[in-house]
Amino acid sequence: MTLPSIHISPDHSSPIYTITQGNLTKGDSISRLDSTLQLVVHKLLEGRDVDFTEACLLEKATPSELPGLCEASRHIRDIGKGSTISFSPKVFIPLTHLCRDFCDYCTFRQSPTEASSLFLSPEQVLTIAKAGQKLGCTEALFTLGERPEQRYPEAKAWLQKRGFKSTLDYLTFVCSLVLNETTLLPHSNPGTMSRIEMSNLKEVNVSLGVMLETLSLNLTKPGQPHHRAPSKWPNVRRKTLDLAGRLKIPFTTGILTGIGESKIDRIEALWAIKQSNKTYGHIQEVIIQNFQAKKSTPMAHHPNPPLHDTLWTTAVARLILGPDINIQVPPNLNSKTYPLFLLAGINDWGGISPLTKDFVNPESPWPTLATLNKETTAYGLNLKPRLPIYPEYFMNKHDFVSSSLRSNISRLVDTDGFVKGGINRYV
């Protein structure tokens, strides 16, 4: 089968190199890597450990060496994932847009005077979830601002009036409602969490998530994107990541690229994710999220990372994290180029909703599932719907899911752990 080849220009003018899908053969683009880089890449291809200093050598790859990195990374992807590319059919439930933090790139956060309501009511949550169920969705993604009751008295009063101590307490309640009244499985992404909050959420979520984003301390300084966002400070994010591991919670994390961090910062963040997973085995998925400038934010004029930069990050993520971790790049953030990330080693497109928009990136619609399927199969790969918990976390591991959730999971999946009926349910 002849597969598409893609011409990419790092400077967006004339094509200067080509990535083609093909078998890994000696004498191919890997052999054109600089000799030091080639040693590191070969070690990774053979499944041998590299140390952090060796991983940092990946930073030195030039644009003309990108095809070699991509070739190696997709070979590693193929070892772990074969030809399967997954996505999660979901509804996005923005439980509250209020947030105690201020990140300079965010348009999700709203103050109480801007928001149409302080929190979605239980009825509103169920209306969205039930509409999603009718369309075949299996994930209820709860995304919300960080602990708004700590900044806004009206948020605290809203929660107290209904008998909830905190936003996370309310989140736990609405997750249990969704579980009891629909077939959807909750996955919450509520920011930092304490041990007790996470334990409670584990009972009503099949997985949880927090983006590590970056470990760059520079970005917490005055004038930088995380200066007014203490929950984004590296030690806090790392603590949350490790805590999820200690509690055996299947966990989604990732890095946000292009907000002022260096390539070495990205390698350092990926390395931290790798080490946490080595200790606890809980990182089910790593998202490579490329920054998108948004109007009316302090970073409105900050440049978006170019395509070759996101391809480099994706390939390096696969090389560092190895064959088993699921790696995704959101297709809606790369609407014209997303199929290319199949050539850089991803095996997942993340949550795609046939119903709700991406409230974090409302200007970026998801591709239709028919288009996503067409683009994926064009590369000789098979698109499969998955749950918000990956098969390996409920088929091969027994303590990563609350026993009360097992029957909710098993009624939705086929013998391989993917959503029953496969892609034909959606296209």
Q: Which two tokens stand for residue 36?
A: 């030091």
Q: How far is the CB of 46 from ligand SF4 (least distance, A)?
A: 39
Strands (E), 97-145: 139-144
Check residue 115 for interaction with ligand SF4 (CB under 6 A).
no
Q: Which two tokens stand for residue 318?
A: 């696969």
Report whether 319 contacts 72 (CB < 8 A). Answer: yes
Rounded Cα distance between 145 and 94, Å, is: 9
Q: Which is nearer to ligand SF4, 112 or 322 (CB)?
A: 112
Judged by CB under 6 A, how many residues of this single chain contact ligand SF4? 12
The DSSP symbol for 325 reads: S
Rounded Cα distance between 337 and 370, Å, is: 17
Q: How far is the CB of 73 from ligand SF4 (least distance, A)?
A: 28
Check residue 285 for interaction with ligand SF4 (CB under 6 A).
no
Q: Which two tokens stand for residue 14?
A: 């004339």
Provide the CA 158 distance to its chain's centre, in angstroms.
Answer: 31
Strands (E), 77-127: 84-96
Rounded Cα distance between 168 and 370, Å, is: 36
Cβ atoms < 10 Å from Cβ of 344: 27
Residues 215-234 that bind ligand SF4 (CB under 6 A): 229, 231
Provide the CA 234 distance to its chain's centre, in angstroms.
Answer: 18
Q: Which of 106, 208, 352, 389 binds ligand SF4 (CB under 6 A)?
A: 106
- Binding segment for ligand SF4 (CB under 6 A), chosen from 72-80, 104-112, 127-135, 378-386, is 104-112
Rounded Cα distance between 376 and 374, Å, is: 6
Q: Which is nearer to ligand SF4, 106 or 118 (CB)?
A: 106
The DSSP symbol for 367 reads: P
Q: Which is nearer to ligand SF4, 103 or 118 (CB)?
A: 103
- Binding segment for ligand SF4 (CB under 6 A), chosen from 50-58, 102-110, 387-395, 398-406, is 102-110
Cβ-defined contacts of 273-278 (< 8 Å, 24+)? 273/212, 273/241, 273/321, 274/320, 274/321, 274/322, 276/238, 276/241, 276/242, 276/245, 277/245, 277/321, 277/325
Q: Which is nearer to ligand SF4, 85 or 99 (CB)?
A: 99
Report whether 283 contacts 251 (CB < 8 A). Answer: yes
Q: Which is nearer to ligand SF4, 89 or 145 (CB)?
A: 145
Q: Which two tokens stand for residue 278?
A: 């080595």
Q: Which is nearer to ligand SF4, 294 or 425 (CB)?
A: 294
Q: How far is the CB of 86 from ligand SF4 (least distance, A)?
A: 26
- Binding segment for ligand SF4 (CB under 6 A), chosen from 65-73, 106-114, 149-157, 285-293, is 106-114
Q: How far is the CB of 352 from ligand SF4 (least distance, A)?
A: 21
Q: How far is the CB of 227 from ligand SF4 (least distance, A)?
A: 12
Check residue 146 for interaction with ligand SF4 (CB under 6 A).
yes
Q: Which of 108, 164, 291, 426 binds ligand SF4 (CB under 6 A)?
A: 108
Q: Which of 89, 94, 145, 417 binds ligand SF4 (CB under 6 A)?
A: 145
Residues 261-280 that bind ligand SF4 (CB under 6 A): none
Q: How far is the CB of 114 from ligand SF4 (least distance, A)?
A: 13
Q: Is 253 helix (H, G, I), strand (E, B) or coil?
A: strand
Check residue 99 for interaction with ligand SF4 (CB under 6 A).
yes
Check residue 92 for interaction with ligand SF4 (CB under 6 A).
no
Q: Which is nearer to ligand SF4, 132 or 191 (CB)?
A: 191
Q: Which is nearer to ligand SF4, 20 or 189 (CB)?
A: 189
Q: How far is the CB of 172 from ligand SF4 (least distance, A)?
A: 19
Q: Which of 81, 109, 274, 282 binds ligand SF4 (CB under 6 A)?
A: 109
Closest to 206 (Cα-Cα) out of 183, 230, 229, 237: 183
Q: Which helix (H) or strand (E) holds 200?
A: helix 195-202
List of residues contacting ligand SF4 (CB under 6 A): 99, 101-103, 106, 108-109, 145-146, 191, 229, 231
